[in-house]
Amino acid sequence: MKNCEYQQIDLRALRTSTTRTSTNKNSQRVRRKWEVFPGKNRFYCDGRIMLARQCGVLPLTIVLIFITSGLFFRFDCPFLVHQLTVFIPVIGGVLFLFVVITLLQTSFTDPGILPRALPDEAADIEKQIDNSGSSTYRPPPRTKEILINNQVVKLKYCSTCKMFRPPRTSHCSLCDNCVERFDHHCPWVGNCVGKRNYRFFYAFIVSLSFLTSFIFGCVITHLTLRSQSVNGIIQAIKESPASVVEVVICFFSIWSILGLSGFHTYLVASNLTTNEDIKGSWSSKRGEESGNPYTYNNIFTNCCVVLCGPMQPSLIDRRGFLPPDDTPPIVTSDTELPHFMAKNDTNMCTQSTKELLESVAHSTMIQSTCTPGTPKTTPVSQESLLSTVSITVSPSSKSPSTGCSGRQARRPIDVPCSQRGSKQAALHTHKTMLRVSSPPYSLGHSPIILSDAPNMGFIPLN
């Protein structure tokens, strides 16, 4: 059995080391994790609000909504209040507020972005994948088949995020993130629609369809009543030209918005995503009986689950703090450093241990195994495995991102995300290769040496 002794990890001692390091931090500016987030996102209010980098036509959406509603309240409401009832602007106001709030929530909420895998985790996954080729051989795209509710589902490997995507997760090429329960990337709201903001998005399109229908109806009523009083539609239009603008905007919006609402109501009732519906993931292909494994086979239950289900908090810790800036990037690239840091409000135990890990990782040490009997994977081969696999990363399957309007809903745009992933992997490999030196490896019980030599690197074991 083992000859070495295991010592208790002294959590109190680890905690004191943390407090000592954190006082050093205060002397320099601490950065938050959102500042080094690897995806293509923009952050405002110190990480509280996030948007996709390509915010698309979100400004146009906001302008259209505000202009139409503004014209309605300014030109149509006075007449209608006088002729009909005061509730018209009240209802209009409530709908307008609903629309604006849900739009902002859809745009500014994290849609369910999955943080990228850390190097250790990525290496562990790579180890599990059978890689039996030379460095010039490109392995086929990696998939893993699992059973969900007795149905075979394929999980694909994401080369950018370096992990097997959970079911219903897709990589958005515009945002360069894997998003859970990915529906589509909506240019109108300037963000992906995924697990966490789908209910906001649905509420937005439903309330917007009510608002446009309401404004359209009111404006038509207004013009009709006015034309009766001035004996001519042309005269009525001359008296209230803004109404024509509203009619035009509403007329063209209603078709697409109502169509989209109807389409998403169908998706909600059958617990599908736009992505799955377009790809035909669960339609009966090849004559096989393959239904949606996630449905509860009950429209009411599906609706409740999708719209009123539990709200998972954001997995990317935007406002957490990064480790001090003076840590030299020895093994990993800068973008992966923040993942080592724990959240400030989680237990001190893991946080302090992480810092211990960090300091150990950035120090120089030669690790050895403690088991004379069983040879572990040698560090040299581990390194070569990493480099081989990283270089020969295969292009993962393309991820469709669709437009948002109902008319365009059937035209996916395929953008491969593999090129970016390959470049990042090559960069990691380059950095790793420069700094790694092969340590003297022995099967014996050799001590761990802590030295100050800066040009030796730390090889991550697994």
Partner 1 sequence: MATEFHNLQELRHSASLANKVFIQRDYTDGTVCKFQTKFPSELDSRIERTLFEDTVKTLNNYYAEAEKIGGQSYLEGCLACLTVYLIFLCIETRYEKVLKKISRYIQEQNEKVYAPRGLLITDPIERGMRVIEISVYEDRGSSGSSSGSSTTSSSGR
Active site residues: 186
Chain centroid, CA 191 distance in Å: 9
Inter-CA distances, 341 with 274, 314, 346, Å: 35, 16, 11
Query: Which of 49, 91, 118, 254: binder of partner 1 (CB under 8 A)?
Result: 118
Question: Closest CB to partner 1 among 130 and 136?
Answer: 130
**Does 47 help bind partner 1 (rule: CB under 8 A)?**
no
Of 254-313, binders to partner 1 (CB under 8 A) are: 293-294, 304-305, 307-313
Least separation in angstroms between residue 228's CB and partner 1 is: 38
Question: Closest CB to partner 1 among 246 and 336?
Answer: 336
Among candidate residues 370, 427, 316, 447, the one with its CA nearest the CA of residue 2: 370
Query: Which of 170, 353, 397, 402: binder of partner 1 (CB under 8 A)?
Result: 353
Neighbouring residues of 128: CB distance < 8 A, sequence distance ≥ 6: none
Q: Classify burial at 125, counting beta carbons within 10 Å of its beta carbon; exposed 0-12, middle 13-18, buried 19 or more.
A: middle
**Does 6 help bind partner 1 (rule: CB under 8 A)?**
yes
**Does 27 help bind partner 1 (rule: CB under 8 A)?**
no
Q: Judged by CB under 8 A, how many residues of this single chain contact partner 1?
A: 88
CB 180 within 8 A of CB 114: yes
What is the residue whose two structure tokens read 């995503």? Answer: 273
Question: Closest CB to partner 1 among 143 and 462?
Answer: 462
Rounded Cα distance, 456 and 434, in Å: 10
Question: Closest CB to partner 1 among 359 and 437?
Answer: 359
**Does 101 help bind partner 1 (rule: CB under 8 A)?**
yes
**Does 346 help bind partner 1 (rule: CB under 8 A)?**
yes
Of 121-150, binders to partner 1 (CB under 8 A) are: 121, 124-125, 146-149
Query: Which of 71, 92, 111, 168: binder of partner 1 (CB under 8 A)?
Result: 168
Of 428-447, binders to partner 1 (CB under 8 A) are: 445, 447
Query: Which of 138, 154, 279, 343: binder of partner 1 (CB under 8 A)?
Result: 343
Rounded Cα distance, 119 and 103, in Å: 37
Q: Classify burial at 122, counting beta carbons within 10 Å of its beta carbon; exposed 0-12, middle 13-18, buried 19 or more.
A: buried
**Does 102 help bind partner 1 (rule: CB under 8 A)?**
yes
Rounded Cα distance, 34 and 319, in Å: 6
Rounded Cα distance, 72 and 88, in Å: 10
Of 199-238, binders to partner 1 (CB under 8 A) are: 199-200, 203
Question: Closest CB to partner 1 among 122 and 436?
Answer: 122
